Amino acid sequence: MRSLTLALSIFALVGGLNSAYADETVKPDFIADGEFKVCSDPSFPPLEFFEKAGDKEPVGFDADMVRALAKHWEVRPGFFVTEFTGLLPGLEANRCDAVISGTLITPERTQKLQAVGYLATSNVVIGSSKSTFKMTHLDDLSGQVVAIQSGTNNVKIMNELNAHLAAAGKPQATVQTYPKQSDAIQQLLLGRAVASISQATEYAYRDLLNPGQLQTLYTFPEKQIFGVYIRPIEGNRKALEQALAALRSQGEMKVIAEKWKLPSVSVEQLNP
């Protein structure tokens, strides 16, 4: 009887240790210095932006998620502010631990870096509500002026469209690139461009703040995924995936999404 009791006690002890180990938070090595530092371009509401001039830290969905991840890992959050074109080079140069800044997951970007999805969206072509320009297909941008943010996947979209238009013997679109998406939007409002390409998340927020200024001209059928980019170091991807899963299961991602007027389903259904 004593042997059976001892065996059961040992089994219970080992089982408890295994359970504790399974529940233990896996932490990435890049927070070893006590800080989770993220490269950010705060010009893309509602994901990241400065609420007022002079602010040192951004607000928005991404910024709140950075703080939630830092809290989950029990470290302090930090932001390295740069233009969009400097985000991934900054990560590669070790200026930050991750890029969380409205950056879509693409094959080109994941050749050198790893990415974990956290928010679903779709591309939209937008224009000024005062414009009479209408479109049913991307080809309708033929001969038009299109303002987009430099360094984004939208540059590739327009390059491919212009190659298609040229092959079809149609006039190409005139593409103007700007450092910030807000600059591209300004060109629409000033009447200097007919269209811009952005994400549905950004358009919805801008329309909420300034209703009636913009309109959706075309919605891309494909779903796209914003990703957290990290350097390809063993173990870090697993730690990041675990942390994001924890924020979802605890309902924190849903709370952040609703705070910034994003559909909660966009943080849950990430499969393209």
pLDDT digits (tens, 9 = 90+) for 200-209: 888 888 887 7
Joined tokens for residue 128: 């000024």
How many other C-beta atoms can be found within 10 angstroms of the C-beta atom of residue 207?
A: 17
CA angle 192, 196, 197 (to 5 degrees): 170
Q: What pLDDT, in 10s, does the model give residues 210-254?
A: 789 999 999 999 889 999 999 999 999 999 999 999 999 999 999
Domain-wise residue ranges, the chain: 2-120+225-267, 122-223
Q: What is the pLDDT of residues 148-179, one digit of tens each?
A: 999 999 999 999 999 999 999 999 999 999 99
- What integer pLDDT is reported at residue 118 of this predicted model? 97
| Residue with the larger pLDDT of the pair 92 and 272 | 92
- Adjacent-strand bridge partners of 224: 121
Domain 2-120+225-267 CATH class label: alpha beta
Same fold? 2-120+225-267, 122-223: yes
In terms of pTM, does the model score above 0.85? no
Q: Which CATH number fits domain 122-223: 3.40.30.10, 3.40.190.10, 3.30.420.40, 3.40.50.20?
A: 3.40.190.10
For 114-124, what is each residue's pLDDT tens digit? Answer: 999 999 999 99
Q: Which pLDDT value is given to residue 21? A: 35
Q: Is the pLDDT of residue 11 over 50?
A: no
Contacts of 240 (CB under 8 A, 6+ apart): 28, 98, 116, 228, 230
Residue 165 DSSP SS3: helix
- CA 113, distance to chain mean position in Å, is 15
Q: Which H helix or E strand runs over 61? A: helix 61-73
Tokens of 129: 């509500």
Q: Answer whether 127's CB lies under 8 Å from 215's CB.
A: yes
Task: Determine contact, residues 211/90, Cβ cutoff 8 Å.
Answer: no
- State how far the Cα of 118 lies from the Cα of 269, in Å rounded to an integer: 9
pLDDT at residue 269, as a whole number: 64
Please report the pLDDT score of residue 17 as a whole number.
Answer: 34
Q: Which H helix or E strand runs over 222?
A: strand 214-230
pLDDT over threshold 70, residue 138? yes
Mean pLDDT, residues 29-40:
97
- Angle of the 236-249 helix axis to the 252-259 helix axis, nearest 10: 70
Where does the pLDDT of residue 23 fall: very low under 50, low under 70, confident under 90, or very high at 90 and above? low
Average pLDDT over residues 121-149: 96
Q: Give the contacts of 3 (CB within 8 A, at least 6 positions apart).
A: none
Quote the distance between the C-alpha of residue 201 and its chain's center.
10
Per-residue pLDDT at 10 exceeds 80: no
Residue 196 clears pLDDT 50, i.e. is over it:
yes
pLDDT in tens, 45-104: 999 999 998 898 999 999 999 999 999 999 999 999 999 999 999 999 999 999 999 999
Scanning 74-180, the segments in alpha helix (DSSP H) are 87-92, 153-167
- pLDDT band of residue 9 (cuts 50, 70, 90) is very low
Q: What is the pLDDT of residue 208?
A: 77
**Per-residue confidence (pLDDT) for residue 25, from 0 to 100:** 77
Residue with tokens 């038009």: 144
What is the strand order of the sheet 114-128 is part of?
A: 76-81, 35-40, 98-99, 214-230, 114-128, 195-199, 145-149, 174-178
Q: What are phi and psi of 177, to 5 degrees?
A: -110, 145
pLDDT at 1 > cutoff 80: no
